[in-house]
Amino acid sequence: MQFNKLSAAALLLISCSVAAQVPLTKAEILGTWQIDKESNNSDGSKARTSNTTWTFRDDGTLEGVMHDADAHARLEQMRAILNYSVDGGKIVKQAAPGRSKMETCEAVEKSGNNMVLKCQSLYFFMSKK
C-alpha cells in the first residue's frame, strides 16, 4: 500500500514537471510566428502540418493568416484579427473574431526562436520568423 502511494506521488510529480509553464512577456512574443505543426499531443506525435502565421503586434492585436495549398479550396488565404494580452506569463486571446470569449494559451516549451504553445487541448509548434 505504501509503495502505491509513493509511486502515485512520483507519477504526479513527473507529470507536473512535463507540463511546466514557461512564463512569457509581451516583448518575447512580438513579431511573426510560423506554426509548423499542430497536435493534440505535447510530444507532437500525430501532428498535422500547418501553413499558418500569427503576428503579435504591440497594439494588442494578433493577426492570423492561413494559406491553403489545396487546389480545390474555396479560399486560398484566410486572415483574422484577434485581440490578445499577456497576463501572468500566459497569452489571453480571443477564441474567434468578433466574439467576446477569451482563451488562455501557455508556453510549455521555449528555446530561442522556437516555442510550443498550448491553447486549450491543442499544441502549436511554432518558430519565429
Per-residue pLDDT tens for 47-94?
988 899 999 999 999 999 998 766 666 777 889 999 999 999 999 999
CATH assignment at residue 69: 2.40.128.280
Q: Within a domain: residue 6?
A: no
**pTM as predicted:** 0.79
Q: Within a domain: residue 13?
A: no
**Amino acid making up residue 50:** S
Give the structural domain span for 118: 22-128
Q: In degrees rounded to 5, what are phi and psi of residue 27?
A: -60, -35
**Per-residue pLDDT at 73:** 66
Are 126 and 36 contacting, i.e. CB atoms less than 8 angstroms apart?
Answer: yes
**Amino acid making up residue 103:** E
